Structure 1
Amino acid sequence: MAKSTGGIDYHDKMIIAHAVFACIATLITAPAAILIGRYFRGRSWWFKAHLYLQSVTAACLILVFIVGTVAVASGRSHSTQFIGSKADAHHDLGLAVFILLMSQYLLGVAAHYTHSAGPNAGEKSAFPTLTTPKHVLRHIHVFCGVAMTALLYAGVKTGMDEWNMVSDMGTLVPEGVVVLYWVIFGIEVAVYLFGWLMEPIRAGAKSSASSIEAAERDEKSAEGEA
C-alpha cells in the first residue's frame, strides 16, 4: 500500500514507539538476561547483570503496555482493535506478557533469597540445571521467564501483522524487518538450546575425567603398596 500524504499521525507514532520498546525488550534485554543465567551462573557478576537487564525489560514492557493502550484509545476507529473487526491475538499476548512480567520479576527477587546448592551440586547429573537442589521458586522463575520471552517473540510477530492491518499510513512492515526478526529469533533460540545440549556433553566429559583420575589414583596407590 502507498503511504498516505498526511504523514505519520498520532496513532501511528504511538504504535512505532510501542514497537521500538517491544523490540528492545524482546530481542535484546530479555534474551540477554536469560542467556546470562544460562551460561554465566558461576560468575560473581551474573546476578547483577541479570537483574539489570530484566529491570530494563520490565521498564520497556510497562512503556509498551502504556503506549499501546494510548494508541488504541487515540480514536474511535481504533477501539475495534480490542473487541471488534480488528481484534487479534496481539492484545491477548500483550496482557499475558504483562501478567507474566510482574510474576516473573517478583519471583526472581524472592528466589534470589532462597537456598541453592550451587552450580556444582548437580554435576553428576546429565542436566544439573534441573537436578541441582534448589527452592521451587527458582524453577518457577525460570519457567516464567522462558514462557514470557516466548510470548514476547509471538507478540512482536503478531504486532508486525497488526501494523499491516491497522496502520493509518496504510503501509506494510518492510520485508527486511521481518527477515531480520526471524534471523535474530533463530540465533537467540539456537544459543539457548545449545546451552541445554552442552549440559549432558559436559557432564559426560566430567564423568570421564573423574573416572580417569580415580583410575590414576588407584594405580599410584597400588604402585606405592608394591
Structure 2
Amino acid sequence: MSRLALPLALGLLVARAYGKVIHRDDEDEDEENHDQDNSPWREQMVIAHAILCALGFLLFIPAGVLWTRWSRTFTKRWFLGHWILQGGFAGLTIAVGFGLGVASVSKSGHKHFTDTHHKLGLALVILYLVQCCLGCIVHYVRPAVVSHRASALKPLQTSGAFGSAILLHPSAQGRGLQNYAHVLLGLLTLGLAFWQVRLGYHQQWEDSGDEDWDLNEGDTIDIVWDIWVVVVPLAYGIGLWLLPRQFRQEAEARKAEALLVQRPARYSVLRDQEREEQDMAELAERPRPSPPQA
C-alpha cells in the first residue's frame, strides 16, 4: 500500500494547489464566479481531468483485469503485470485526474459532490482503494495447507507478508470469500466506471455552458465508448474459458505444497531411524573390555 501513497499524495497536492479560490467582495462574487467558471485555465483542468480519469478507469483498469484473466494460466509473473497496470498506471492517472476534478470545481466556486457525476467519482475512488487493499490481502495472505478431508467451512490459520489472520475457507478450490469479493468488486467498479465516463462527457460538458464543448450522439467519443463497452466484457467473457485450466493448475500446486508440508516430518523419522542404526553399529564395533585377570 505504501507504493500507492505517491500517486494519491500527488493528486491531493494538485487539488490543494489549484483548488484555492481567491476571496472576493460580496458585490463582485457572482460576476467573478461566472468568469472563473468559463476561464481557459479551468477548461484545461477539466479536459485534463477527463482524459486522465478515462485512461485510468477505462484503459489501465480493464487492461489489468484482462491481463490477469488471460495470462495467469501461462506465466507465474502475471501478478507483476496486474500490479503495474492497476496500482501503478491506473493509480497515478486516477489520483491526478481526481485531484484536477476537485480543483476545477473549487476554482469555479461551486460546491463539491452535489451531482451524480461528482458523487459517483468519489465513490469510484473509494472503491478503487478498497479493491487495492483487498487485492493485497488475497495475494499475500493465503490459507494454510490442510488435508482434503478438512471441513470446507473450517476457519484456517493463514500467514503471509502481512502477518497471520483467520480467514474463512469455503471452497474446494482453495479460495476464501475474500477472493470472490475481490473479483465481484472489481467487475462492479469497472461497470460503474463506464457509466461515470459517459456521465462526464455528456452531463458535465452540457452543464458547462460552453457551446464548443457540446457532444451530440454519433460523435467520435460516443462511438469509441459504444465499441469499448462491448469489447471489454466480451474479452473478459472469452477469458473465462481458461478457468478449467486455471483450476487444474491450482489443484496441482496445492498437492505439491501439501507434499512439501508432509515431507519434513517423514524425513525426520527416517533420520532418527538412521541415527539409531548408526549408533548401534558403532557400539557393536567398539572393542569390548577384557575381563580382569586373577
Query: TM-score surpassing 0.5?
Result: yes
Distance 1:29 1:153 in 2: 13
Higher relative contact order by CA 8 Å / sep ≥ 6: 1 or 2?
1
Residues 1:154 and 2:201 aligned together = no
C-alpha distance after superposition, 1:6-55 (max 9, x if no partner):
x9712211110011111111221100111122121121120000000011
1:95 to 122, 135, 138: 122
Match of 2:105 in 1: 72
Match of 1:209 in 2: none
Match of 1:45 in 2: 77
Alignment partner of 1:73: what SS? helix
Q: 1:29-44 counterparts in 2 under 5 A?
A: 29-42=60-73, 43-44=75-76
Residues 1:110 and 2:137 aligned together = yes
Match of 2:210 in 1: 169
Q: Percent identity?
A: 24
Match of 1:222 in 2: none
Alignment partner of 1:115: what SS? strand
Distance 2:207 2:49 in 1: 14
The alpha-carbon deviation at position 194 of structure 1 amounts to: 2.1
RMSD: 2.6
1:11 to 33, 38, 42: 42
Distance 1:57 1:132 in 2: 30
Unmatched segments (≥5 aa) in structure 2: 1-37, 145-170, 249-294
Counterpart AA for 2:134: L
The 8 Å contact of residues 131 and 182 in structure 2, kept in 1 or not, is answered as yes
Distance 2:112 2:134 in 1: 32
Normalised by the size of structure 1, how large is the TM-score?
0.70
Residues 1:178 and 2:218 aligned together = no
Match of 2:59 in 1: 28
Distance 2:70 2:233 in 1: 14
Q: 1:180-199 counterparts in 2 under 5 A?
A: 180-196=224-240, 198=241
Range with greater deviation from structure 2 (36-45 or 49-58) = 36-45
Distance 1:35 1:61 in 2: 19
Distance 1:151 1:48, change over 3 A: same
Unmatched segments (≥5 aa) in structure 1: 1-6, 118-129, 207-226
Normalised by the size of structure 2, how large is the TM-score?
0.55
